[in-house]
Amino acid sequence: MSIDLDKMKLPELIQLQKELTAKIKEMQKTERISLRRKMEELAEESGFTFEEVISGAKPSKKSKVKPKYINPNNSEQTWTGRGRKPKWVEAALADGKKIEDLLI
């Protein structure tokens, strides 16, 4: 398809420019979606998520920190020793126990 731009009047050229801009944006969106799908499939085939590949992050199999302390009154309550002390730890320490007494 060939368009002779020299034979077009200014309003026709302006309209053509608007239509071209809209068509280009539409095609870019379609191509971007298609490319992302292909990249997601490729990442999945390699055992990664698309986000992991883009961010350069390691796989999301984060290892949990094992609990280091246990509540002697309730074995379901544990603490890794990281972050703020749970209330049960504070209470045990206030009762005169040492932190070593709570070790698992």
Measured distance CA(52)–CA(40) in Å, rounded: 10
Q: Report whether pLDDT(22) > 90.
A: yes
In this prediction, residue 53 carries a pLDDT of 85
In this prediction, residue 70 carries a pLDDT of 94
**Average pLDDT of the segment spanning 18-24:** 97
What are the φ/ψ torsions at residue 82 (nearest 5 degrees)?
-105, 150
User: pLDDT digit string (tens) for 63-74?
Assistant: 688 999 999 999
Measured distance CA(48)–CA(13) in Å, rounded: 48
Is residue 16 within 8 Å of residue 10, measured between CB atoms? no
- What is this structure's pTM? 0.46
**pLDDT band at 59, cuts 50/70/90?**
low
Burial of 70 per CB tally in 10 Å (0-12, 13-18, 19+): middle
Measured distance CA(50)–CA(61) in Å, rounded: 15
Q: Report whether pLDDT(103) > 90.
A: yes
Measured distance CA(90)–CA(88) in Å, rounded: 5
**pLDDT band at 61, cuts 50/70/90?**
low
